[in-house]
Chains A and B, each alone.
Chain A
């Protein structure tokens, strides 16, 4: 079957760095996505990786290793507004997105 695993919840301190991991087993791979979702709101697109390596976008970076079925989202200089759920999703061979259950990130002052 297809499976996306992420930690359920993480806690970090304002100003620090946090890494949110995602492992996947899917039928085919056509890219990995990260989304941010604040409570009561819709998910918003953060990043897309299709090749191995690190993609940097401001305070956020996303890494992919296809051979290991592994990705992480790195958030630097954490701000209180980064408190949200972070969703990992993989596009499979049918070009459908398979979603993880999300990681709730709690930022403490």
Chain B
């Protein structure tokens, strides 16, 4: 089915581990975004990408790395996970922001 998918949907990891969250879209949208959502905060932009091989920092990029070698994929990597990165992560595409289902990440 066409759309935007994220994997895994749930992840528990330990402090200091590297973890990668995957995002895949089938629409060939140019723009893709990574957000985190925490209680009491609005959605906060981590990184975004205007096209393959073009990425830029958002509001809260520290501790995260992204890549975009293909238009349809936009993985987000936490290089050394910290407890403060426990959150729900959403991937989105285009200007109107079609969202994936989210990944609930817990760092212990």
Could you list which residues of chain A lie within 8 angstroms of chain B, going by C-beta atoms? 4, 33, 35, 41-45, 48, 87, 89, 91, 95-102
Contact = CB atoms under 8 A, between A and B. Distances in A.
Which of A91, A96, A99 has the most C-beta atoms of chain B within 10 angstroms of its own C-beta?
A99
A87 B42 CA distance: 8
A33 B45 contact: no
Main SS of the interface on chain B?
loop
B97 A43 contact: yes
Contact of B97 (A4, A41, A97, A102): A97
B97 to A, nearest CB: 7
What is the interface residue range for chain B against chain A? 10 to 19
B42 A33 contact: no
Interface of B: 40-45, 48, 58, 90, 95-102
Nearest to A102: B42
A100 B42 contact: yes
Which of A4, A42, A48, A99 has the most C-beta atoms of chain B within 10 angstroms of its own C-beta?
A42
B42 A4 contact: yes
Contact of B43 (A45, A48, A99): A99
A45 B48 contact: no
A41 B101 contact: yes
A101 B44 CA distance: 10
B44 A45 contact: no
Given A4-B42, A41-B101, A101-B42, 15 more contacts: A33-B97, A42-B90, A43-B99, A89-B43, A91-B95, A95-B95, A96-B48, A96-B58, A97-B45, A97-B97, A99-B42, A99-B44, A101-B40, A101-B41, A102-B42
A87 B90 CA distance: 14
Contacts of A102: 42
